[in-house]
Amino acid sequence: EGFCSDEASLKLCVMKEVKVNSKRTMITGEDSVSDSDSDSDSSLPMVLLLDEIFPKLPVKSIARFRCVSKLCRSMPIRRLLFALQRVNDEFLIFSSHQPHQKKPSSSPLVASADFHMKICQYTWPVFRGLTSRLIYFSTARNGNQEPLIYNPITGEHESLPELSRYRKSYSFIGFDPIGKQFKLLFMAYPYCFEGGDHRVMTLGNGEKKIWREVKCSLTHLPVTEGICIDGVLYYVGENNDIEKSCEIVCFDVRSEEFKFVSAKCFSVPHSTRLVNYKGKLGGIELTYDDDDAAVLTVRVLEDGERCEWSEYVYTLPENEVFVTDVFVVGMTGAGEIVLSDRFTAKPFYVFYFDPQRNTLQAVEVRGVGEYSEAFESECSVYAFVDYEVDPKFIT
């Protein structure tokens, strides 16, 4: 840590990195540091360096600084993570900086993407989930579904024990912040007479990884992706009843117990995006009004025991880039709702909506793929807010 052990040397190192990467790392349109500013590195406030400049560096540069500087390690770096599924089932994983505009621009910003890894199509990968710094896929090997855990930043991955082949199965990944453990939740045949096969595997505890059986009192079918908030994994489950009513399934990662909250407040539960709304569970529905303007209906779980939800409705303001054929990615820690194009195209946009200020910022993401090839053909887009840049793997 010698050459970046004090603030002055850290400023010098970061600004040198900025100059090297200035053509591709800065987001065009944001407040940036000019050459004249960078010539007086020592006069830059440390807050500006860490909050505004350091997060915009390429991921490899961020990881390197976090290895040599305690100050950089103390800074949580959150990025927008993408998984692009090509027509041949190959996945491309990349990320970009999440801009937080103090003064939003009517014109689109431009952000450069960092390519991380490619998941081969020959394994028939299926995306399962993401939490904290890990992304979870299952692949088909010898007729069975093999779980694979990746850290996209480092490219590390680990194969996990297979389960017997099921015609239909679902699985999620969650994180227990108290025990600091990742766990996988697996379920198969949820509509069978016995109520389905539910199992859990703990990662990173130094012990042999095995699937353990857990009991779930509600026979249900998962119909949305999951989200883990403060050690609780949430997803929408459809009941096996005549009405096909839906519940919010709440799986406590630490205790491995299930609870359920009615999802009747959602008009279309299957298309609701669950989000982390300032530490609470939220659900966002995206619709369009008669003028083709995007409308976001946000519901927040205020009291799970009483099933009390608050509701907010926002019509997105006009923007230079027309918002259409998008999906809700999530809500950032800064309170911005992020939307993304459903499929890759040139140009490819993401949108940041600030409900408090009623502002909408379009950001064009460029340079996607190992050779910037992702936009050569149409890809389905998965995206996630506040991805944690951390070189650690499971342990």
Q: SS3 of 42, please?
A: helix
Instruction: Give φ, ψ of 313 to 5 degrees.
Output: -125, 130
Asked if 236 and 246 touch (Cβ cutoff 8 Å), the reply is yes
Selection from 341, 313, 311, 344 nearest residue 328 by Cα? 341
224 in the Ramachandran plot: left (φ > 0), alpha (ψ -120 to 50) or beta? beta
Residues of the chain with pLDDT under 70: 1-12, 14-52, 54, 66, 68, 73-74, 100-102, 121-125, 132, 140-145, 163-167, 189-196, 205, 242, 368-376, 391, 393-395
Per the rule left: phi > 0, alpha: psi between -120 and 50, beta: everything else, 208 is beta
- pLDDT at position 187 is 85
- Provide the pLDDT for residue 4: 58
Distance CA(152)–CA(157), nearest Å, equals 9
pTM of the predicted protein model:
0.84
What is the C-alpha separation between 96 and 103, in angstroms, rounded? 20
Amino acid making up residue 146? E
φ, ψ for residue 253 (rounded to 5)?
-65, -35
Report the pLDDT value the prediction gives residue 33, as an integer from 0 to 100. Answer: 44
H-type helices in the chain, by residue range? 7-25, 35-38, 46-48, 59-68, 70-73
Owner of token pair 């190959």: 90
Q: Give how far the C-alpha of residue 64 lies from the chain's centroid of Cα atoms, to the nearest Å.
A: 22
Q: Which two tokens stand for residue 199?
A: 């199992």
Task: Using DSSP, state whether 116 is helix, strand or coil.
Answer: strand
In terms of Cα–Cα distance, which of 311, 365, 320 is closest to 338?
365
DSSP state of 355: T
Q: At what angle do helices 7-25 and 59-68 cross, to 10 degrees?
A: 170
pLDDT value at position 249? 94
Residue 280 in tokens: 């609470």
CB 339 within 8 A of CB 294: yes
CA dihedral 42→47→52→53, nearest 10 degrees, is 30
Stated as kind and residue range, the H or E segment containing 379 is none
